C-alpha cells in the first residue's frame, strides 16, 4: 500500500477533507486519464481525436454513474444496516420489467398495460418495494447469512421466471396451444420470455432533445454543437444521459442517503448492523425498521435498474445474472461500505479502473507495442495473437504472452477483480473511504450550546 499511501499523501488536504471536492477531483483525474489515453489511441490509429475522446468519455460517464447509483442503493442495505442482500440483480429486473410491462401497449407482443411512462415508472418502484417487502418478511427473521441465500435465490427465481416461456406473452392467439399470455383479473400481459422485452425508454435523451428525427430547439442546438465537433447524435445523446445520471440522479441518491443515514433513523440502522439485540434492548422495533429499509433500498435498486438496463430500449433476463450483483458489491467494498462518499468513489473506481480500465489499458498497450514493433522490425510487424492459452504459453515468447493477455483482457479482468477483492479484504477491508466517521445524527454532535466541546477533528456530513 506504500505507493497508494504516498499518492494519497500527495493529495492536498483541501480536497481530502471535502467530500464534493474529493469526488470531483477523482472524476476529473479519471476523465483526464481517459482523454489522454484516447488521444494517444486516436493518433496511433489515425482517427479523429475529438469524436474518439467524446465517445470514450460518454461511455465512461454512463458506467460511473450507474455503478455509483447502485453502490449507493446497496450501501443502504449492506453498508448501513448490514443486510447482506445479494439479490440486487433480481430487484433491478423487477424494476425494469415492471416498468416495461406497465408501459407496453395492450395490443403488443407481449401485451402490457399501456400506461404512460411516468406512471409506469412510479408503479415499477412501488412493485419493486413490495417485492422487497415480501422477500423481507420471512427473510429478515433469519441470520445474515441466510438472508444472503434467500435473496440470491429470489434473484435467480425472478430471472428464471422472466425467462420462462409460460409467462412470455409472445403467443397472443387464445386458440393456440402455446398461448402464453398471463391473465390477471382480466389484465393481460407477458414478460417476453427469453426473447426479452422492449423498454419504453429507448432514448432517454429524447425527453430533452425531442424525437431523434425531429429534434426541438434544444436538440437542434446540442446536435449542432455535436456536428461542429465531429460528434454524431448518438454520442451527444449518450453524453447527455450520462451527465444527467451523474449530476442529478447520483446527487439525488447521495442527498437522500445522507439524509437517511444522518438521522435518528440512520442511527437505528447502524445499531442493527452492529448488534441488533442491543438496539432492541434500547426500545427500537428493529424488525419493522429492517422491513422499511429493505423496501426503500429495493425501490432504489429498481430505479437504478431502470435507469441503467432500462435505457437501452431492450432487455432480456440474461442481463440480470448474479454477476451484476457481485460487480455492485465489489464497487461498494472498494469504495468503503457504510460511507456514501465511498459508494460514489467506489462506483467511479470500479467502472473506470476495474471494469473499463483493463480494456482501455490493453488498447493503449496494444497500440504502443504495435508502434514499437513497426519501428524495430519494419512495417507490417504486429503483436502475435495466439489462439489459445496453450499456444500462447508454449511459445515461451513474452510478446506472445502479451498478445494473448491483450486479446483476452475482457475475460482476464475477472481475475483482476478477484485479486483486488482479496487484496482489499486482507489489507483494507474498510475500503478506500470506509475509515471515515459519517456520524448518524441530524446535528453536529460535537457542538454544544454554551461551551465548546473537545473535538479532535471528527468528521460529520451535515
Kindly tell me which of 379 and 450 has the beta carbon lying closer to other proteins.
450
CB-nearer residue toward other proteins: 200 or 338: 338
Q: How far is the CB of 275 from other proteins (least distance, A)?
A: 5
Residue number, 203 or 460, with CB nearest to other proteins: 460
Residue 389 burial by CB count (10 A; 0-12/13-18/19+): exposed, middle or buried? exposed
Question: Rule CB under 8 A: which residues touch other proteins?
Answer: 256, 259-260, 263-268, 270-271, 273-275, 277-286, 289, 292-293, 296, 338, 437, 439-443, 445-449, 453-456, 458
Half-sphere exposure of 414 (CA within 13 A, CB side): 6
Whether the Cβ atoms of residue 190 and residue 169 lie closer than 8 Å to each other: yes
Residue 453 main-chain phi, psi, to 5 deg: -80, 155
In terms of CB distance, is 135 or 293 closer to other proteins?
Answer: 293
Closer residue to other proteins in complex, CB, 366/438: 438
For residue 426, the minimal CB distance to other proteins (Å) is 19
Q: How far is the CB of 255 from other proteins (least distance, A)?
A: 10
CB of 358 to other proteins, least distance (A): 33
In whole angstroms, how close is the CB of 298 to other proteins at the nearest point? 14
Q: How far is the CB of 444 from other proteins (least distance, A)?
A: 9
Please say which residue, 398 or 454, places its beta carbon nearer to other proteins.
454
- Please identify, using beta-carbon distances, which residue of 74 and 296 lies nearer to other proteins: 296
* Shortest reach from residue 253's CB to other proteins, in Å: 12
User: Minimum distance from CB of 120 to other proteins (Å)?
Assistant: 24
d(CA 153, CA 131): 14
If the CB atoms of residues 102 and 258 are measured against other proteins, the closer one turns out to be 258
* Cα radius of gyration rounded to whole Å, the chain: 25
Amino acid at each position: 500500500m506504500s505507493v497508494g499511501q504516498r499518492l494519497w499523501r500527495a493529495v492536498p488536504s483541501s480536497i481530502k477533507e471535502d467530500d464534493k471536492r474529493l469526488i470531483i477531483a477523482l472524476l476529473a483525474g479519471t476523465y483526464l486519464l481517459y482523454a489522454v489515453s484516447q488521444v494517444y489511441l486516436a493518433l496511433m490509429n489515425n482517427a479523429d481525436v475529438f469524436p474518439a475522446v467524446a465517445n470514450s468519455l460518454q461511455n465512461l460517464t454512463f458506467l460511473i454513474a450507474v455503478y455509483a447509483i447502485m453502490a449507493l442503493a446497496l450501501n443502504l442495505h449492506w453498508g448501513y444496516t448490514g443486510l447482506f442482500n445479494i439479490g440486487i440483480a433480481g430487484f433491478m429486473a423487477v424494476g425494469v420489467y415492471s416498468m416495461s410491462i406497465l408501459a407496453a401497449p395492450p395490443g403488443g407482443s407481449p401485451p402490457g398495460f399501456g400506461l404512460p411512462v411516468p406512471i409506469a415508472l412510479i408503479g415499477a418502484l412501488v412493485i419493486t418495494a413490495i417485492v422487497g417487502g415480501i422477500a423481507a418478511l420471512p427473510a429478515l427473521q433469519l441470520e445474515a447469512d441466510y438472508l444472503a441465500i434467500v435473496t440470491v435465490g429470489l434473484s435467480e427465481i425472478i430471472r428464471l421466471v422472466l425467462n420462462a416461456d409460460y409467462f412470455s406473452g409472445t403467443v397472443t392467439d387464445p386458440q393456440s396451444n402455446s398461448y402464453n399470455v398471463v391473465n390477471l383479473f382480466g389484465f393481460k400481459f407477458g414478460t417476453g420470455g427469453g426473447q426479452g422485452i422492449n423498454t419504453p425508454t429507448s432514448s432517454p435523451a429524447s425527453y430533452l432533445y425531442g424525437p431523434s428525427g425531429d429534434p426541438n430547439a434544444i436538440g437542434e442546438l446540442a446536435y449542432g454543437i455535436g456536428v461542429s465537433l465531429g460528434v454524431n447524435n448518438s454520442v451527444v445523446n449518450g453524453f447527455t444521459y450520462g451527465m444527467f445520471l451523474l449530476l442529478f440522479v447520483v446527487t439525488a441518491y447521495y442527498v437522500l442517503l445522507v439524509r437517511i443515514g444522518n438521522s435518528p433513523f440512520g442511527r437505528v440502522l447502524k445499531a442493527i448492523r452492529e448488534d441488533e439485540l442491543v438496539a432492541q434492548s434500547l426500545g427500537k422495533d428493529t424488525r419493522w425498521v429492517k422491513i422499511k429499509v429493505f423496501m426503500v433500498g429495493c425501490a432504489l435498486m429498481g430505479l437504478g435498474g431502470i435507469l441503467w438496463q432500462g435505457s437501452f430500449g431492450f432487455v432480456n433476463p440474461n442481463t440480470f445474472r448474479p454477476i451484476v450483483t457481485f460487480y455492485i458489491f465489489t464497487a461498494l467494498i472498494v469504495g468503503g461500505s457504510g460511507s456514501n462518499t465511498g459508494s460514489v468513489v467506489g462506483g467511479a473506481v470500479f467502472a473506470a479502473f476495474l471494469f473499463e480500465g483493463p480494456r482501455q489499458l490493453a488498447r493503449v498497450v496494444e497500440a504502443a507495442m504495435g508502434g514499437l514493433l513497426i519501428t524495430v522490425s519494419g512495417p507490417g510487424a504486429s503483436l502475435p495473437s495466439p489462439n489459445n492459452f496453450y499456444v500462447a504459453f508454449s511459445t515461451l515468447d513474452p510478446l506472445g504472452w502479451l498478445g494473448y493477455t491483450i486479446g483476452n483482457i475482457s475475460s482476464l479482468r475477472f481475475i483482476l477483480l478477484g485479486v483486488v477483492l482479496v487484496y482489499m479484504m486482507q489489507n483494507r477491508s474498510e475500503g478506500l473511504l470506509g475509515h471515515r466517521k459519517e456520524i448518524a445524527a441530524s446535528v453536529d454532535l460535537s457542538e454544544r450550546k454554551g461551551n465548546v466541546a473537545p473535538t479532535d477533528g471528527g468528521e460529520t456530513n451535515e
